[in-house]
Amino acid sequence: MKVLYIVYQLLIGYPLVIVATLFTAIFTILCFPWKNSKAPRTVQVLWSRSVLWFLLVPIKVTGRENVDTKQSYVFVANHQSFLDVFAIYGWLPNNFKWLMKKEIRKVPFVGTACAVAGHIFVDRANPKAAMKSLEDVKVQLHDGISTAIFPEGTRTKTGEIGRFKQGAFKIAMDLNLPVVPISLKGFFKAMPSKQFYVNPGSHVEIHIGQPIDLSQFNDMNEAMAYVREQIQKGLN
């Protein structure tokens, strides 16, 4: 069964993902004058969902009632696998901009589409450039536009939540925006780091937590620890 499932992914699933990705990227680029309208966003959401559909990964989403689509937030999530981005983009009800690694900018069509859509690229090896990216994303966070960040900065290699970086929390504190913890469960088991296929029989879950006002904490480290704790609770 596992062999048949992997063959399906290689011969059918991934080719469908590639076609859907190219269509979505080209559509997004052509819609540049209307990049903040409903049509490009709808197509991008359907594309993200289609990736999990084509790879036959069922998903359960809870907590959508915890967020207001007219409010701007800083969403932070644990980073377990390649599938995380598609799950959040496809099932998070809010309009948001990713803070993503700069290497994606070089991917043909996809990098251009991400730039057109207003996502922000971060040079993780250059602290000064990274700070500039944080300032760029701040400009967009108004009128219900949010940002989504993996505070670990990279995918886990063990399945455990890694050490958080401060960027997401600095944005939230500077703009007085609530932080929303997102718990991604089952994604590491479905597709561990450096594995190119999804394990058969995988089930994944997203839990969107309650918004957290960081002004209640004495310092950033305390706020980061609390948010990390809330993400961990969603995994239990």
pTM for this entry: 0.91
For helices 167-175 and 220-235, the axis angle rounded to 10 degrees is 110
Confidence grade of residue 89 (pLDDT, cut at 50, 70, 90):
very high
pLDDT over 80 (residue 64): yes
% pLDDT > 70, the chain: 97
Q: Which of 17-21, 85-89, 170-174 is predicted with the least confidence, judged by mean pLDDT?
A: 170-174
Report the pLDDT value the prediction gives residue 34, as an integer from 0 to 100: 66
pLDDT tens per residue across span 91-115: 999 999 888 888 888 899 999 998 8
Who's near 73: CB < 8 A, 6+ residues apart? 67, 94, 96, 146, 147, 177, 178, 179, 180, 211
Q: What is the DSSP letter of 194?
A: T
Residue 54 to residue 230: CA distance in whole angstroms: 31
Residue 101 to residue 81: CA distance in whole angstroms: 15
Q: Which of 25-39, 91-105, 178-192 is predicted with the least confidence, judged by mean pLDDT?
A: 25-39
For residues 134 and 204, which has the higher predicted lDDT (pLDDT)? 204
Residue 230 to residue 18: CA distance in whole angstroms: 35
Q: Which of 69-83, 90-104, 221-235 is predicted with the least confidence, judged by mean pLDDT?
A: 90-104
Q: Are 168 and 73 in contact (CB under 8 A)?
A: no
Residue 144 to residue 142: CA distance in whole angstroms: 6
Topology, domain 56-235 = Glycerol-3-phosphate (1)-acyltransferase (3.40.1130)
pLDDT over 80 (residue 36): no
Report the pLDDT value the prediction gives residue 142, as an integer from 0 to 100: 84
Confidence grade of residue 227 (pLDDT, cut at 50, 70, 90):
very high
Q: Are 89 and 110 in contact (CB under 8 A)?
A: no
**Residue spans per domain, the chain:** 56-235
